[in-house]
A and B are shown apart, each in its own frame.
Chain A
């Protein structure tokens, strides 16, 4: 007689239910890539802004005018005193250089760009007139790959996806099956409950592989986001993260009987992590008093481990603490979920 493996059939069915659902495919794979591209473009590294300078059309200022016009860091406007004043008023120029009893800077000190414009203009004018630095300074450029916003963003988005994928991919699907009475129908067969849970979590782990690769490849192709660590380490961290959130998803879904309930529970669980766990900006920006709470969130730990292995090339061993916290979250929620799980 032909042998049928319940693990394999359950796993296959779960895979089919996922890839035949275009919405699920989009939110798991399409949306994160679009988000990465959108944020990557919005926060791309731009050349420093030019300083807008108005210069009075006066013969005495011709040397200064030549100096400023030949410098790439300035955009110059030349005109009468009235014109210069109007440019300042409208905000088209940050500072005006006028000929009075010598040289006069005219600017509005309450505007944020005034101070820097004044410093830069003055520096250029004085240096052209022969001023030298007293202290020797060496400038080091830090806008190198690895320190840009997009480099910070990609691991954060990866973590966010592992979170929402785990919660939606397990939690939502489980409650949907409960509403359809499919769980009740399954438990009415001799199916081993263990097989069911393993297939649910196993298929979720498989879905994370393309999810991770897509984001890393998009980051590399469009924004040259380099991967400093080993792919194995990244896969291990992502795998532990996926398991941890799969456990949480199962826990949230263990009792809920309505889509509204599970949606509410998942949003309540995800909201603090969206804000505090360092997806879009560092969680260190929050006050110290919040840090114990923030560090206790699983996504904070996952993002920090992902950044360490992807950006800094850290070893897996060095990430034992965040990884253990994630494993603990996964295990505890899995055990509780099994205890509370409602089949009907």
Chain B
């Protein structure tokens, strides 16, 4: 096989879920994605965007309605067993058998792979060595999730699929999982993960594909995506006696130094700027002239959240009526 070939290619991927008595749901509407070998790519998007459908099609667990899929140069349906020998999978939500111990579970999963690592080594890598004799029903959420990732690593996969590996975990458990993923990447292996945490995507991924409403709306490294919206900083401020629906026109601030973009937010105004030290004095002066009183002012770096908002006009984490796939 050509070593330089893409680890994952999907073209014009479509998936329609049909449930009797209900209108069909289009989970994917022409999703395009290429993942290079050795890269860690994150699918970032809100709930219901189609991330899980995409990853499960790539894992060979869900049939696409249309489109082309290549994983490690192979296609699902040709020789699934040898393809499965080369990939590792952690599903979004799996409750492993409660009554088995950590060690027994790892031995079971290890037995399915022709080649792979010693369960003891994986235990060390996910820091569960002390828990090896513990039954799964006694583990914490973070420990269970590390075990799930450990099960995905047992076959020393060339390609690792992780579906929301850190959702619902405490900060320490999240960092533990990130370390596992980084070590996998350092060995030159490929990772595809889904997340709706922008900080996770920023820290972990070489490239991020922003998924919304069944397709990829932007791909690039986190810094590329951030540059794409102009400024690198965000200034957010609120005004006295101005609630969200009675804010002054944002065009009032457009001509301030280094401002790239202005918009109103749920409780204030948000400016994307290149140089906050030039913009803030001018902003304060302008507010004084307009007799507007500042209630708060914060600055921060542009995040992928801002990228998502600027691309879709919606927040990544905002609750929405997710057309969650069955």
Q: Measuring CB to CB, which residues of chain A are less than 8 angstroms from any residue of chain B?
A: 1-2, 4-6, 8-10, 12-13, 16-17, 20-21, 177, 180-182, 184-185, 187-192, 344
**Given the complex, which residues of A lie within 8 Å of B100, measured CB to CB?**
13, 16-17
**Nearest A residue (CB) for B113:** A190
5 A-B pairs with least C-beta separation:
A4-B111, A190-B84, A180-B95, A20-B99, A9-B111
Contacting residues, chain A, for B59 (C-beta < 8 A) = 188
The answer on a CB contact under 8 Å between A188 and B61 is yes
Known: A13-B104, A16-B99. A190 touches B91 (CB 8 A): no
Most buried by A among B94, B108, B113, B115: B108
Given contacts A16-B100, A190-B155, 16 further A-B contacts (CB under 8 A): A2-B118, A4-B110, A4-B111, A13-B97, A13-B100, A13-B108, A17-B99, A21-B99, A180-B94, A184-B61, A185-B89, A185-B94, A189-B109, A189-B113, A190-B113, A344-B62
Complex partner residue of A190 from B62, B81, B107, B151, CB under 8 angstroms: B81
Encode contact with A along B23-67: 1 for CB under 8 Å, 0 otherwise.
000000000000000000000000000000000000111100000
CA distance A136 to B60 in the complex (A): 86
B93 located at the interface, meaning its Cβ lies under 8 Å from any Cβ of chain A in the complex: yes
What A residues does B97 contact at CB under 8 A? 13, 17, 177, 180, 182
In the assembled complex, the Cα of A1 lies from the Cα of B84 at a distance in Å of 20
User: In the complex the two chains form, what is the Cα distance from A4 to B154 in whole Å?
Assistant: 12
Q: Give the residue name and chain of the B residue nearest to A189 (CB).
A: B112
Tell me, yes or no, whether B282 is within 8 Å of chain A by CB: no
Please indicate the chain B residues that have their CB under 8 angstroms from the CB of A187 in the complex. Answer: 61
Q: Is the interface of B mostly helix, strand, loop or mixed?
A: loop
Q: Is B96 an interface residue (CB 8 A)?
A: yes
Nearest CB of chain B from residue A10's CB, rounded to whole Å: 7
B85 close to chain A: CB less than 8 A: yes
> Chain A CB within 10 Å — which of B81, B89, B99, B151 has the most?
B99
Cα–Cα distance between A280 and B5 once the two chains are bound (Å) = 69
Beta-carbon nearest neighbor of B92 in chain A: A181
Smallest Cβ distance from B59 to chain A, in angstroms?
6
Number of residue pairs A-B, CB distance < 8 angstroms: 75
Q: Which residues of B contact A189 (CB under 8 A)?
A: 84, 89, 109, 112-113, 155
A207 to chain B, nearest CB (A): 15
Q: In the assembly, what is the distance between CA of A323 and CA of B282, in Å? A: 94
- What chain B residues lie within 8 Å of A182 (beta carbons)? 94-97
Instruction: Contacts A17-B99, A188-B59 given; indicate if A6 touches B93 (C-beta within 8 A).
Output: no
- The CA of A162 and the CA of B111, in the complex, are separated in Å by 31
Contacts of B83-130 to chain A: CB distance below 8 A: 84-85, 89, 91, 93-97, 99-100, 104-105, 107-115, 118
* Inter-subunit contact A188/B111 (CB<8 Å): no
Interchain CB contact under 8 A, B61 and A9: no
Contacts of B84 in A (CB 8 A): 188-190
CB of B161, distance to nearest CB on chain A (Å): 9
Give the shortest distance, in Å, between B166 (CB) and chain A (any CB): 18
Quick check: B107 and A181 within 8 Å, CB to CB? no
Contact across chains for B111 and A185 when beta carbons are under 8 A apart? no
Chain B residues near A344 (CB-CB < 8 A): 61-62
Interchain CA distance A182-B155 in the complex, whole Å = 18
**Residue of A2, A6, A8, A16 touching B112 (CB-CB under 8 A):** A6
A-B pairs with beta carbons under 8 Å apart, 29 shown: A1-B115, A2-B118, A5-B111, A8-B111, A10-B111, A13-B97, A13-B100, A13-B108, A16-B99, A20-B135, A180-B94, A180-B95, A181-B91, A181-B94, A182-B94, A182-B95, A182-B96, A184-B91, A184-B94, A185-B151, A188-B59, A188-B84, A189-B89, A190-B81, A190-B82, A190-B112, A190-B113, A344-B61, A344-B62
Closest B residue, CB atoms, query A21: B99
Tell me the minimal C-beta distance from A344 to chain B in angstroms.
6
